[in-house]
Structure 1
């Protein structure tokens, strides 16, 4: 399986992110959306998961994959190309920066936080932006 994780990287919020202070994504109609699952995983256990872990767990939760099926399904899941967390609503819509440490494990930082600002100015790590929501401008 190809390594799709980021290392020593900070993904800042998108240029067209509509919020100036981070918001916690909410379930819709009692159903956990992709950003809710991503937020819960990363915020509850900072620097515990890689991008691959989060992408697959979202897939597993949303598709009701049983624990005993996960190894085989993970292989199947990553045999196809997957969108990275630069496309996540966490950075596009909700105002969360994602820091990936040297081991590829992630933590979230609110756009208005001091830590976010420090990570944004840290030239020792790779700087990326979340994808824009629109193609305009």
Structure 2
């Protein structure tokens, strides 16, 4: 079975061109946790612990009530098709966070107004890509 991946190596995902905020916002609490909230909690509490694939699948598993013993099989099925990467995350499109993927492919979040965010933009040794726009041009 073909295995797709959403992982990046040594890459910084900048906020989307049409991101509506100039300072990062924590996704608002709702009765049921949104994808943005799940991703935010996972990454902000554990910087550089998870790969993009880990985060995307974990959030899918939570949203779809996948039990621990089903996870391995479901993960294989999930990644047998291409999946949207973190460039499509509401954190980068709407809430003003950039994602840094280190050399091991592990991810951390950086608010758009932070010094680290600017450092990544100015670092020529890191690949950069923008999050997807919310609206077509």
Aligned residue pair count = 135
Displacement of 1:3 after TM fit? 3.7
Structure 1 residue aligned with 2:48:
47
Match of 2:108, SS state, is strand
Provide the C-alpha distance between the structure 2 equivalents of 1:2 and 1:81, rounded to a whole number of angstroms.
Answer: 5
Displacement of 1:85 after TM fit? 0.5
Provide the C-alpha distance between the structure 1 equivalents of 2:6 and 2:95, rounded to a whole number of angstroms.
Answer: 23
Structure 1 residue aligned with 2:34:
33
Equivalent runs, 1:80-95 vs 2, <5 Å: 80-95=81-96
Query: Cα deviations across residues 70-122 of structure 1 (Å, max 9, x unaligned)?
Result: 00000011111100110111010000000000000000000000000000111
Provide the C-alpha distance between the structure 1 equivalents of 2:135 and 2:55, rounded to a whole number of angstroms.
Answer: 25
Q: Give the TM-score normalised by the residue count of structure 2.
A: 0.96
> C-alpha root-mean-square deviation of aligned residues, in Å?
0.8
Structure 1 residue aligned with 2:15:
13
Provide the C-alpha distance between the structure 1 equivalents of 2:98 and 2:41, rounded to a whole number of angstroms.
Answer: 14
CA contact (8 A) 1:26 1:32 kept: no
Gapped regions of structure 1 (runs ≥ 5): none
Runs (4 or more) in structure 1 with deviation over 2 Å come to 1-4
Match of 1:107, SS state, is strand
Provide the C-alpha distance between the structure 2 equivalents of 1:12 and 1:2, rounded to a whole number of angstroms.
Answer: 23
Structure 2 residue aligned with 1:97:
98
Gapped regions of structure 2 (runs ≥ 5): none
Displacement of 1:2 after TM fit? 3.4
Provide the C-alpha distance between the structure 1 equivalents of 2:71 and 2:118, rounded to a whole number of angstroms.
Answer: 37
Provide the C-alpha distance between the structure 2 equivalents of 1:73 and 1:8, rounded to a whole number of angstroms.
Answer: 28
